Structure 1
Amino acid sequence: MLSLFLSKGLFANTFVSTKSNKINMRTGPGVNYPVTWIYTCKNLPLKIIEEFENWKKVCDIKEDCGWIRSNLLSNKRYAMIKENTYGYQKQNMNSKITMKIDKYAIMKIEKCSEKWCLLSFSKGKAWIQKKCIYGVD
């Protein structure tokens, strides 16, 4: 029981992303466990809460949790927008708004400061407040 507790703590702040457009989430760490969810979105950020052999227990933005085989996950950092928001030219809400960003948009994480992250996607880059992002702590 102690090792289970420690493993959860080790991964509490670690995010991964889905590698492909179809990934099964299971009730346990193995292909014999039932599929509870099928993710159909590449680069979806997921929070690691536990590991067992070559499986990771992860949670999504809606707090649905389950097990995914490690080789289906990537260490590439992506974020999902928690609410409709704006992207800014600088790390300041008084700076120029460069884009409107819809809830659940997925963007690549370029870098982060204490309260802001620079995110990018096909139409450009913008600074977004961390409180509006799932995929960073």
Structure 2
Amino acid sequence: MSGFLPVKRLVSAAFAVFLTVLGTLPASAQDKRGQVTNLPLPRFVSMKAAEGNVRRGPSLTHRIDWVFKRRGMPLQITAEYGNWRRVQDRDGAGGWVHYALLSGVRTVLVDAELLPVYTSPDPKAPVSAQFETGVVARLGSCSLDWCQISAGGYRGWAQKTNLWGVDPAEIRE
């Protein structure tokens, strides 16, 4: 057993050096980008089509595991391969979808039982609507804590922590 100790220490030291070097790289060098689009990964998009096959791999020859059946549903792209994007939904379920089925239009999924939507980004502001869990809303501008959303003819501001489809640190003009 003692013969393994130096190797374990060597691996630990190498890992510590790696983390130190990674920490000194500029933020842009740490950001992961898609090999096809050069856009950031992961990133959020939405379903353009009313139905979209989700496949095990990035080609038509791969088996269809299920079908997304909700136009506008927010999805997170985690990988790219040719014309294919690996996506996942709020529950982490996903697979490969052809890029033509996706849209850059940003939507969010309401992740609260009854989400109050305020007339301004302030919890003391008047409530303009309440959205139920699972409502897909169009995403507008976002500050660090609030996002402007709209659905069903109603619009207003909601706390970002109650929305899936927007990064917690994301700010949108």
Q: Structure 1 length normalisation: TM-score? A: 0.90
1:119 to 133, 146, 149: 149
2:90 to 61, 67, 74: 61
Larger radius of gyration between Structure 1 and Structure 2:
2
Match of residue 30 from structure 1: 59
Q: What is the CA distance between 1:122 and its match in structure 2?
A: 2.8
Q: What is the CA distance between 1:10 and its match in structure 2?
A: 3.6
**Which has the higher relative contact order, 1 or 2, with Cα contacts under 8 A spaced 6 or more apart?**
1
Please list every run of at least 4 consecutive aligned residues from structure 1 whose deviation after the TM superposition is greater than 6 angstroms.
Answer: none
Q: Distance in 2 between matches of 1:31 and 1:106?
A: 29
1:49 to 69, 75, 78: 78
Where structure 2 has 5 or more consecutive residues not aligned to the other structure, the ranges are 1-31, 168-173
Q: Structure 2 length normalisation: TM-score? A: 0.72
Paired residues for 1:1-137 under 5 Å:
6-7=32-33, 10-12=40-42, 14-84=43-113, 85-137=115-167
Where structure 1 has 5 or more consecutive residues not aligned to the other structure, the ranges are 1-5
Number of aligned residue pairs: give it.
131
Report which of the two has the higher share of strand: 1
Report which of the two has the higher share of helix: 2
Q: Percent identity?
A: 27
- The amino acid across from 2:147 in the alignment is C
Q: What is the CA distance between 1:7 and its match in structure 2?
A: 4.9
